[in-house]
Chain A
Amino acid sequence: MKPSDTFQPVLLEAAGIQDGFSIKSYRSRGGYAPLEKLLVEKKPAEVVDLVKSSGLRGRGGAGFMTGLKWTFLPKDHPGPIYLCVNADESEPGTFNNRILMEEDPHQVLEGIIISAYATRASTAYIYLRYEYPKSWDALQKAIDEAYEAGLLGDNIQGSGFSLDIYLHRGAAAYICGEETGLIESLEGKRAWPRIKPPFPAIEGVFRKPTVVNNIETMACVAQIARRGIEWFRSIGIPADPDNPRDPGSYGPKLYCLSGHVEKPGCYEAPLGITARELINRFGGGVWKGRRVKAVIPGGISMGLMTEDELDTPLDFTGPGTVGCLGLGTAAVVVIDDTVSIVDFLHNSCRFFAHESCGQCTPCREGTNWSLRMLERIRAGKGRLRDLDLLAEIGDTMGMMPGSTICGLADGAAWPIKNSITKFRDEFENYIKQTNPTGYMETDPVPALPIVTTH
C-alpha cells in the first residue's frame, strides 16, 4: 500500500463544505484555536523553531526552508519588519493558491498571523494576482471577519501582538511573482527584480527586513501549528541520509493537474507522489485513451518529463534527477501524443518573451530570439542550425550560469533545453519535412515578422 492510499486531505478539507470559507466553519473545524493557544504559550523564537524543525519548504517554487528563511532576519531589529505573502500565482498551469484563497481563506490568514508573530512583523501584505477577483473578495471578507473577531488589529487576543493585513492587487505581470520584483511592485515601482545581496530578509519592502512567503506555505504553517511536527514529518519523503544537502520533502502538497487528463483539478497528495499515480489515480488517466507524450512537472518553467520518466517522485529533488529544473509549483500539465513539441516550445517561448521584464540583456534578447526562431521554424523556414542555437540559449541564459539577475530566464531556458535534448528527433523531422530545401542552410536569413502576439 502506498502512503497516498491512506492520505486524507488537510489543506483542502474545506473544499466542498457548505460555507467552508466562513470563519464559523473554520472555527468548527478547529481553526484559530491553535493560534490563540500559541499566542499565549509560545514566544516568537519558539514558533520559528517549530516551523524550522517541521522541515517545511517554501511552496512557491524554489523550495527554500521556510524556518531557515525566517532566521535570516536581523536579530533585535527595531522594526518595522514586513511579511509579504506572495499570491501572484502566474506560473502557467498553477492554481493551488487560488483554491486555497477561495475555499479556505481563514486557513491562509491563520498561517499569516502565526508567521507574522514568529517573524515579529506588525504589517503583512498579500500581493494578489490581478486576474483573481474572486480571491480578492474571499480574502477581503475573511480579513474583515478576522478583524471583527479580534484576530487582527491591535493587541490580538490580549497577547500584546498587533498585526494589520493589507491586500494589494497586482497589475498582471508574471515577473511580479519573483520575490524582489514583487517588492518593487508593492512599493509602486516597475517590477524589475533587485540585485542580491542584500536579500529581502535584510532589506526588503521599503528597505526594511522582509519575509516573502507563498500562500500555500502559510496554509502549511497553520496546519503545522494545529497538528504538530510529528504529523507533518510523517508525510512526504524523508531526507536522503547520504546527501547532507537534502533537507527532505515533508508534508502535504497541492498538485494542480491539468492538460490532457480526464479529470483536471487541484489535488492534495503527500509530497513525492509520482506523475503516473497522479494522472491515473486522480486524473482518471489521459483523456480519450491516448498516451502521454510528455509531462510538465511543476509549471511550464520546470521543463519536460518524457513518458519514461513518469515514475519520478514529484518531490523537491525528484524532477531534478531527470533534467528538469525542480518541483516548482507542482503544476502538472499532461501533454498527449497528438501534440507537436514544436508547438509546445513555441508557446512556451512566446510566454517568456512576453513576460521577460527586459532588465538583463541575455534574458530580454534570448527569450525574444528563441521566439523568433520558433516562429520561423513553424513557418516552414527552420534550419537544423536553429536547434543548436536554441540549445545554446538554453544553456547560457539564467541565474544558474550567472547571466541574469532573477530566475525567470532559467524558467525560460528549461523548456528549451529539455525539449531540444529529449525530443531532438521530432524537431529535426519537423524541420526537414517543412523546409526540405533549406534545412541545411547556415547563413543568416531575413527575420519574419512575429504574427502570434499575446
Chain B
Amino acid sequence: MPTVLVDGQEVEIDADERLNCIEVARRAGVEIPHYCWHPGLSVVASCRMCLIQAGTRNAETGDVSMVPKLVPGCQTPAKDGTVIVTNSEVVRQSRARVEEALLIDHPIDCPICDKAGECLLQDYHFEHGQSERRADIHPFSSRRRDVGPTVTLFVDRCIMCTRCVRFTREVSGTAELMVSARGAKEEIDTFPGFPLDNKLSGNVVDLCPVGALGDKDFLYQQRVWFLKKTENVCGGCATGCSIVTEHNQDTVYRLKPRENQHVNKWWMCDEGRYGWHHLHDATRIVEVSHRNHTHWNTVEWTSALGQLTKDLHDAGRLAVAVSPMLTIEEAWMLCAVARAIDPDAYLAMGHVPSTDHDESFPGGFTIRREKSPNRIGIEMILSMFNALTENSTVPEWKEFLEQIRTEAVQSAWVTAGYPTPETSWCDEETAAVFDNMNCLVVQDLFRSPLSKRATWCLPASGFAERHGTWVNCGHRAQTFEQAIRPPAGVWPEGRVFWSLLGRQGLYDPESIRETIAKNSVGFAALSGDMPSLGVDLRLQQVTGT
C-alpha cells in the first residue's frame, strides 16, 4: 500500500487513489489552510496559502530528499514515498505572509460583514496570521455591486481565489463571472448585460471563502453564530440533495448543500436553496377545520382525530392518495391507518408535480423534472400494501381521480403538502370531481379548490418540519431529522398517523422504519442506524440476495 509521510506520521492510501497533499494531510488530521483549492473545481494554485515543504523518501535507503523550495499542497500529488512537512518554521512564516498580504487591501469590516463567524480569512488569520499590521492603513471602504438577481459582490473583501469564476465556467457552464483589470486592481465582475443569472448561482456564495459574495436572500438576516444546523434533505425535486438547514428559534434562515458524492456532490440549485420561504408563509393552514355544509368549525386535534375516523368509517369505501412529499414512515402509517378504517381501502400515489424535462449541468448536477422528493419511496410502500400481480403497477393520481369520478369509492383522504402558496396544485376542475364524496379529508399546507370541498381540512408540515426517510430518483434512501417545529397548531403528519394508529408516546420514526425494513426486502437496508449520506436501496438489494 502506498504510504505518505505527513509531519512524520505515516498515512496509507489506496493504490488507485489520486490525492493531493491537502487531502492526504487531512487523513492524518493535519489541516493545510487553503483558499483557491476546492475538490469540485480545477486546480489553479494561486492563493499560495497551502504552501508546504514536500519531498520523497527513497523506499530502499529511507533517505528523504526535499524539494528546495515551497510547493503548493493542492497541486502536489501525494504518491508512495511522498514526504509532507506542514509545521516547519518556513511554512509557518509563508502562511503568515500570505495572510498579511491578503489583508493589505482587505477592508477588515468584520463587524458588518455577513461572513464573519464562518470566514476562512478570519479563521486562518487567527490561526496562521501575525498580530501586528506592518502595511500602511487603508481607509475603510465596502464597495458593493450586484452581480445578479441572487448575488451581490462586496468588491474590496475579495481575495481573488477565483472559485466563483471557475464554478460558473466548469459546473454551471454559464461563465458569467470573470476577472477584470490586473494586479492589485483586479476585481470579479460580470460582462455588462450578462448578470450572474443561472439556476446554480447561489453556490458561488457557498464557495466564497470570504465575505465578498453575499446571498441577497440571507444578507443581514442573521449572524451566523446564532444559526443551528440540522442535516436535512431538500424536497424540491427528485434529486433529493443533501442539505443543511440553518435555523434559529424555529425560523429557517438559509439552506446550504452538504457534500454527498452520490447525490449532489457539493452543490444545490437555487430553486431548492430559496425554496424554504413557504414554511413561514402567512397563509399556511395551521388548524384543523371541519366543514358543515358551508360553515367551518375549528376543532381541537384530540377530538378531531376520533371524529374523523368515525366519519371515514361510516362513509363507505375509502380511497387514499399518498403524497410523494411524505416520508416512507409517514406513508406506511397512513396506509396502515387506512386499512384499519377500511380493509378494502384503495391506496394510490398522490399528485406528482413535474415540469417538462430534467436540467443537467456540465459539472454533473441535475435538476429533475419531478418536483417531489419521494415518489419511488411511496411506490415501494404502496406495493407493500397493494398485493400487486405480476404486471400491475402502483395506481397513480390519474387512476385515483378515475376511482372518484366513477364513484367506486365514497370517501377520500388526500395528502398533499406541496410548497406552492401562490399557485394551487389542484385546479377547480380537478377538485370538482370530489363533489359527491361522503367524506373528504384534505391534508395540505395551503388552501386550494380541493380544501374548500373537504369535510376535514388538516394542516400538513413542510420539509424541515418532518423527520423520516425519503428515497430519491436514484433509489438512495436518506434519513433526516426535524430541523424546526411546525407553527403552533400544526401536528406533523407523523404525529397524526401515530395517534390514529393508537401508538403510545411520541412519534418514533425509527421504530416505524425498523418495521418497514423487516417487512420488505426492498427496504431491508433501512434497518439500524442510517449513514448520513444515505444508502442505495438497489445496491443493498443486489448484495443482500
Q: Residues of A with Cβ closer than 8 Å to B? A: 173, 190, 192, 195, 353-362, 364-369, 372-373, 376, 389, 396, 400-405, 444-448
Q: Is the beta-carbon distance between A447 and B184 smaller than 8 angstroms? A: no
Q: Is the beta-carbon distance between A362 and B105 smaller than 8 angstroms? A: no
Contacts A365-B105, A366-B101; A403 near B44 (Cβ below 8 A): no
CA distance A233 to B183 in the complex (A): 42
B186 CB contact (under 8 Å) in A358, A403, A444: A358
Q: Is the beta-carbon distance between B46 and A405 smaller than 8 angstroms? A: yes
Q: Is the beta-carbon distance between A448 and B136 smaller than 8 angstroms? A: yes
B97 CB contact (under 8 Å) in A354, A362, A448: A362
CA distance A315 to B184 in the complex (A): 35
Q: Is the beta-carbon distance between B179 and A446 smaller than 8 angstroms? A: no
List, in ascending order, chain B residues with CB within 8 A of A358's CB.
160, 179, 181-186
CB of B47 within 8 Å of the partner chain: yes
A364 CB contact (under 8 Å) in B97, B136, B178, B183: B183
Q: Is the beta-carbon distance between B135 and A444 smaller than 8 angstroms? A: yes
Q: Is the beta-carbon distance between A362 and B48 smaller than 8 angstroms? A: yes
A367 CB contact (under 8 Å) in B45, B67, B72, B183: B183
Contact with A along B14-48 (1 / 0, CB 8 A): 00000000000000000000000000000111111
CA distance A168 to B267 in the complex (A): 40
Q: Is the beta-carbon distance between B133 and A444 smaller than 8 angstroms? A: yes
Q: Is the beta-carbon distance between B160 and A446 smaller than 8 angstroms? A: no
CA distance A228 to B477 in the complex (A): 75
Q: Which of B60-118 touch A at CB < 8 Å?
A: 67, 69-72, 75, 94, 97-98, 101-102, 104-105
CA distance A365 to B137 in the complex (A): 14
List, in ascending order, chain A residues with CB within 8 A of B133's CB.
444
Q: Which of B69, B97, B159, B183 has the most CB of A within 10 A?
A: B183
Return 23 A-B CB contacts under 8 Å, by A number: A173-B182, A192-B44, A195-B43, A358-B181, A358-B184, A359-B46, A361-B46, A361-B48, A361-B160, A362-B98, A364-B184, A365-B101, A365-B104, A367-B184, A369-B101, A369-B104, A402-B67, A403-B48, A444-B133, A444-B134, A446-B139, A447-B139, A448-B136
List, in ascending order, chain B residues with CB within 8 A of A354's CB.
182-183
A374 to chain B, nearest CB (A): 12
Q: Is the beta-carbon distance between A361 and B102 smaller than 8 angstroms? A: yes
List, in ascending order, chain B residues with CB within 8 A of A368's CB.
104-105, 183-184
B48 CB contact (under 8 Å) in A190, A404, A445: A404
Closest to A191 in B: B182
Besides A358-B179, A361-B46, A361-B101, 14 other A-B contacts (C-beta < 8 A): A190-B179, A354-B183, A356-B182, A356-B183, A357-B183, A358-B183, A358-B185, A361-B160, A362-B48, A364-B186, A373-B136, A402-B67, A402-B69, A403-B97
List, in ascending order, chain A residues with CB within 8 A of B69's CB.
400-402
Closest to A445 in B: B136
B43 to chain A, nearest CB (A): 7
List, in ascending order, chain B residues with CB within 8 A of A396's CB.
94, 97
Q: Which of B46, B133, B138, B159 has the most CB of A within 10 A?
A: B46
List, in ascending order, chain B residues with CB within 8 A of A357's CB.
182-183
Q: Is the beta-carbon distance between A403 and B51 smaller than 8 angstroms? A: yes
Q: Is the beta-carbon distance between A195 and B98 smaller than 8 angstroms? A: no
CB of B6 within 8 Å of the partner chain: no
CB of B49 within 8 Å of the partner chain: yes
Q: Is the beta-carbon distance between B47 and A361 smaller than 8 angstroms? A: yes
List, in ascending order, chain B residues with CB within 8 A of A448's CB.
136
Closest to A354 in B: B183
List, in ascending order, chain A residues with CB within 8 A of B137's CB.
444-447
A369 CB contact (under 8 Å) in B48, B70, B135: B135
List, in ascending order, chain B residues with CB within 8 A of A353's CB.
183-184
CA distance A367 to B133 in the complex (A): 17
CA distance A367 to B101 in the complex (A): 10
Closest to B101 in A: A365
B492 to chain A, nearest CB (A): 50
Q: Which 4 A-B pairs have the closest CB atoms?
A: A402-B69, A402-B70, A365-B101, A447-B136
Closest to B90 in A: A401
Contacts A365-B102, A369-B104, A445-B137; A403 near B184 (Cβ below 8 A): no
CA distance A358 to B162 in the complex (A): 11
Q: Which of B43, B70, B134, B179 has the most CB of A within 10 A?
A: B134
List, in ascending order, chain A residues with CB within 8 A of B97's CB.
362, 396, 403
List, in ascending order, chain A residues with CB within 8 A of B46's CB.
192, 359-361, 405
List, in ascending order, chain A residues with CB within 8 A of B72's CB.
195
Q: Is the beta-carbon distance between B71 and A402 smaller than 8 angstroms? A: yes
B232 to chain A, nearest CB (A): 36
B358 to chain A, nearest CB (A): 31
List, in ascending order, chain A residues with CB within 8 A of B159's CB.
361
Closest to B182 in A: A358
Closest to B159 in A: A361
List, in ascending order, chain B residues with CB within 8 A of A400's CB.
69
CA distance A361 to B184 in the complex (A): 9
Q: Is the beta-carbon distance between B101 and A446 smaller than 8 angstroms? A: no
A352 to chain B, nearest CB (A): 9
List, in ascending order, chain A residues with CB within 8 A of B67's CB.
402
